[in-house]
């Protein structure tokens, strides 16, 4: 944030918060003149990595997303929570370009992935890594080959460079010595970590997580949460999580968006969710059996 010099503080309070005031424009006791920020200042304003604009989608005659608008800033971790059928996974599929909306658009780093040519769509996808809920590993391939697969499919690299990248990513997720094993020989938590290593193998700017702690015991779930935080810290990535796990959402998120019946009913920080008096929010985040979410219409 750019602070106004002390000499101008009495006048600054009457100006919009997003306006930068030039001291050159201040004459005696007159009101300072607001003007557009110079180009060098504009780059300091956080830019969205992902924008959902009035996103609307119906499946089998049922509206799953109903005008969802959301801006996810570069470098932040956003958790999308909500009950089954709220539209969380459908939102992820729209971000990665696997589904097209009936109305609205999705922008990845400013590129509209819903209305663009194939080349632009692939360029946007190149910035995204996807962690599947069930890890989606190929049982016939070793851990090493599973992680290397996106490089072999989409890049033109020599074996030495592939080996270096795979070993680096396996090391990041704590599996440096497990590359020779096949998926059947490793635990569920290790499979999640292999899936994460594969998701970051092409050095994405954005990582999408579909229920990253689902099916894990509390200790392993905590390990995955630590990895998500570690990826943000070491790689500076933007992360979007779809989750039912509120302990995970509270631990890793900068902000949380709650979906209900295809609409965002609350957006805020973990602290703001904990402090909320909204009965819908309170029932969901605390897992209460009685309340408006379970009341008969």
**pLDDT tens digits for range 272-293:** 999 999 999 999 988 888 888 8
**Fold (CATH) for 46-127+204-297:** Rossmann fold (3.40.50)
Longest CA–CA span in the chain (Å) reads 77
Residues 12-54 pLDDT 10s = 334 444 433 434 444 445 454 444 444 443 344 467 999 999 9
Residues 184-198 pLDDT 10s = 999 888 999 999 999
Q: Is the dihedral of CA 118, 123, 124, 125 positive or negative?
A: positive
pTM over 0.95: no
Q: Is the dihedral of CA 35, 36, 40, 45 positive or negative?
A: positive
Is it the case that residue 82 has pLDDT exceeding 70?
A: yes
Is it the case that residue 70 has pLDDT exceeding 70?
A: yes
Is it the case that residue 69 has pLDDT exceeding 90?
A: yes
Q: What is the pLDDT of residue 296?
A: 57
Please state at what angle helix 159-172 crosses helix 218-235, rounded to 10 degrees.
120
Q: What is the pLDDT of residue 27?
A: 42
Q: Is the dihedral of CA 186, 183, 95, 153 positive or negative?
A: positive
CA dist 289 and 283 (Å) reads 7
Residues 87-121 pLDDT 10s = 888 999 899 888 889 999 999 988 888 876 666 67
Q: What is the pLDDT of residue 119?
A: 65
Element (H, E) at 54: strand 48-59
Banded model confidence at residue 231, pLDDT cuts 50, 70, 90: confident
Banded model confidence at residue 297, pLDDT cuts 50, 70, 90: low
Element (H, E) at 128: strand 128-131
Is it the case that residue 229 has pLDDT exceeding 80?
A: yes
Banded model confidence at residue 217, pLDDT cuts 50, 70, 90: confident
Q: What is the pLDDT of residue 125?
A: 79
- Across residues 118-126, what is the average pLDDT? 73
User: 227: closest CA among 129, 150, 91?
Assistant: 129
Element (H, E) at 79: strand 77-81
Q: What is the pLDDT of residue 117?
A: 63
Residues 151-193 pLDDT 10s = 998 888 899 999 999 999 999 888 999 999 999 999 888 999 9
Q: What is the pLDDT of residue 85?
A: 79
Q: Are strands 103-108 and 48-59 parallel, antiparallel or unpaired?
A: antiparallel
Element (H, E) at 108: strand 103-108
For the chain, the average pLDDT equals 82
User: 20: closest CA among 44, 47, 2?
Assistant: 2
CA dist 143 and 25 (Å) reads 63
- Across residues 253-278, what is the average pLDDT? 93
Contact 250, 73 (CB under 8 A): no
46 phi and psi, to 5 degrees? -55, 130
Domain ranges of the chain: 6-42, 46-127+204-297, 137-200
């Amino acid at each position: 944030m750019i602070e106004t010099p002390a000499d101008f503080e009495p006048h600054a309070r009457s100006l919009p918060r997003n306006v930068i005031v030039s001291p050159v424009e201040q004459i005696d006791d007159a009101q300072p003149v607001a003007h557009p920020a110079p180009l060098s200042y504009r780059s300091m304003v956080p830019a969205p990595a992902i924008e959902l604009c009035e996103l609307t989608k119906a499946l089998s005659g049922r509206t799953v997303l109903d005008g969802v608008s959301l801006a996810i800033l570069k470098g932040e971790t956003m958790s999308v929570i909500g009950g089954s059928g709220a539209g969380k996974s459908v939102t992820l599929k729209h971000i990665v370009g696997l589904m097209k909306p009936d109305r609205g658009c999705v922008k990845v780093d400013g590129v509209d992935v819903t209305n663009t040519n194939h080349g632009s769509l692939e360029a946007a996808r190149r910035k995204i890594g996807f962690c599947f809920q069930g890890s989606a590993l190929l049982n016939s391939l070793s851990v090493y080959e599973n992680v290397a697969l996106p490089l072999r499919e989409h890049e033109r690299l020599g074996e030495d460079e592939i080996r270096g990248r795979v070993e680096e990513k396996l090391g990041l997720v704590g599996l440096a010595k497990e590359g020779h094993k096949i998926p059947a020989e490793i635990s569920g938590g290790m499979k999640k970590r292999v899936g994460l290593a594969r998701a970051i193998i092409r050095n994405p700017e954005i990582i999408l997580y579909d229920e990253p702690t689902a099916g894990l015991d509390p200790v392993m779930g905590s390990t995955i949460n630590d990895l998500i935080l570690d990826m943000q810290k070491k790689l500076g990535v933007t992360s979007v999580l779809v989750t039912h796990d509120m302990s995970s959402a509270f631990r890793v998120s900068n902000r949380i968006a709650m979906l209900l019946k295809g609409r965002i009913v609350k957006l805020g920080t973990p602290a703001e969710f904990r402090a909320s008096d909204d009965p819908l929010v309170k029932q969901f985040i605390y897992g209460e059996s009685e309340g408006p979410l379970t009341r008969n219409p």
